[in-house]
Amino acid sequence: MNLSKSHQKVAVIERQQAVGGGCVHWGTIPSKALRHSVSRLIEYKANPLYRFTEKPQRHTFQDILNHASTVISKQSNLRSSFYERNRIHLYQGDASFVDKHTIKVQHIDGSQELLTARTIVIATGSRPYRPPSVDFSHPRIYDSDTILSLQHNPQRVLIYGAGVIGCEYASIFKGLGAKVDLINTRDRLLAFMDAEISDALSYHFWNSGIVIRHNEDFAKVETRDDGVILHLKSGKRVKADCILFANGRTGNTDDLNLEAIGLQADGRGQLKVNENYQTSIENVYAVGDVIGYPSLASAAFDQGRIAADAIAHGECAAKLIIDIPAGIYTIPEMSSVGKTEQQLTAAKIPYEVGRAQFKHLARAQITGTEVGSLKLLFHAETKELLGVHCFGERASEIVHIGQAIMEQKGPGNNVEYFVNTTFNYPTMAEAYRVAALNGLNRLCD
């Protein structure tokens, strides 16, 4: 759309029948819609207004998928309307390079056509990594794409990989009443997050009955008609009705015939780019999951916008922000932006901590979402906000208030803003005032 608005003639080649890519059809949108439905179900069951007047209901994975499919359709239709409005030509089929200016489009009916362009952008995304020793054709073995086709109602779910996707689906299945075993190949959950925040999630998982097994690697998967048994290298065996592999992703580059233009992907199928998202081939750019970190839909939008400016104008003054917020849609959510305590301590930066417990906020008490807290890290001398970390319902929304202050230049970035500003009451945003006062009161005179 940015290229079209810059008076460029643009074509998009889409493999699927509907636009939106992995974000809309298999990743971000479906999993977050599922998570929302399960979260509301948990709130309903915990609400004393309905505890004795309504018969408890047990919803299946298929039940809540209905809501997700509605959202998927709306998002895909919206994007289609954007293409039409901006006069973007859409071709359906599989794309591969003929040379650095020519793309072959293989249509579903078997026909082919060639498209030529001055500039080509690779935005093919990624797919779940599949260990070659695992038979993913078995009906009880899933990855994060195929789990959306789950037709039975598992009572016990095994999740291999405790990264963002693994933790999110652990929340979803536990919220539906299934027993969940979460296999973590590392020594802690989500180690890139602030330690206190990831510890809060670990405790919440443990308290809800999720079994977490750290520092484990799988040796083999034994399949049966009614389930699977995961054999771990430590000698343990874990039985479940089904298994979800959520242990990394691979860039979708293997079918692009990159050899034809002398471009090579790394071992994970990802492409290297410069700050304008230009590959080693001058007229070929790449954005999104196919270039790796941060592998976020939010960042991919900006990468596309920046690449389009570079293509249309030869350069782009705007760059992707350094402090990209992370939103993890577990139940409750986690979100952070900026530095962690561990990073600040290692860098020997004098900082102070301000905390606000959600259980003390009127809005959280009203809505029954009292689990969680907000944590502010700020410079002990300049009072500059250095990091915002949140665990609890609506954390992914709450964190942006702190992000807005962190992005201010000079004296505009100051934790005292939250003390001197009047917030609506009652709101979850009030946590910033509480946390700021909590931290400022710790400062030495």
The per-residue pLDDT for range 304-325, each reduced to its tens digit, is: 999 999 999 987 778 888 899 9
**Could you give the C-alpha distances from 233 to 3, 36, 122, 220, in angstroms and in order?**
51, 35, 38, 9
List pLDDT tens digits, range 206-245. Answer: 999 999 999 999 999 999 998 999 999 999 999 999 999 9
CATH topology of domain 141-247: FAD/NAD(P)-binding domain (3.50.50)
The runs of H, that is alpha helices, within 314-429 are 341-346, 362-367, 395-406, 417-420
What's the pLDDT band for 62 if we cut at 50, 70, 90? confident
Cα torsion 421, 425, 430, 433: sign: positive
Average pLDDT along the chain = 94
Query: What residue has token string 């959950």?
Result: 189
Once rounded to an integer, what is the mean pLDDT over residues 186-205? 95
Asked whether the beta carbons of 325 and 389 are under 8 A apart, the reply is no
What's the pLDDT band for 57 if we cut at 50, 70, 90? low
Percent of the chain clearing pLDDT 70 (strictly above): 98
pLDDT computed for residue 135 by the predictor: 95
List pLDDT tens digits, range 373-409. Answer: 999 999 999 999 999 999 999 999 999 999 999 999 9
Check for a shared fold between 1-127+250-313 and 332-441: no
Closest C-alpha to 270, from 443, 430, 122: 122
Answer whether residue 194 shows pLDDT above 90. yes
Token pair, residue 335, equals 């979100």
Q: Where are the domains of the chain?
A: 1-127+250-313, 141-247, 332-441
CA angle in degrees (0–180, nearest 5) for 176-180-184: 135
Binding-site members for NAD(+) are 161-168, 248
List pLDDT tens digits, range 259-276. Answer: 999 999 999 999 999 999
Asked whether the beta carbons of 241 and 226 are under 8 A apart, the reply is yes
Pick the CATH number of 332-441 from 3.40.640.10, 3.60.40.10, 3.30.420.130, 3.30.390.30: 3.30.390.30
Asked whether the beta carbons of 428 and 371 are under 8 A apart, the reply is no
Q: DSSP string spanning 416-436? A: THHHHSPPPSS-TTHHHHHHH
Binding-site members are 32, 124-126, 161-168, 248, 289
What's the pLDDT band for 56 if we cut at 50, 70, 90? low
What's the pLDDT band for 48 if we cut at 50, 70, 90? confident
**Could you give the C-alpha distances from 158 to 148, 151, 242, 336, 350, in angstroms and in order?**
16, 16, 6, 28, 43
Spatial distance between the Cα atoms of 267 and 264, rounded to a whole number of angstroms? 10
Binding-site members for FAD are 32, 124-126, 289
CATH architecture of structural domain 1-127+250-313: 3-Layer(bba) Sandwich (3.50)
What's the pLDDT band for 343 if we cut at 50, 70, 90? very high
Query: What residue has token string 């998928």?
Result: 65
Once rounded to an integer, what is the mean pLDDT over residues 147-165? 94
List pLDDT tens digits, range 108-139. Answer: 999 999 999 999 999 999 999 999 999 999 99
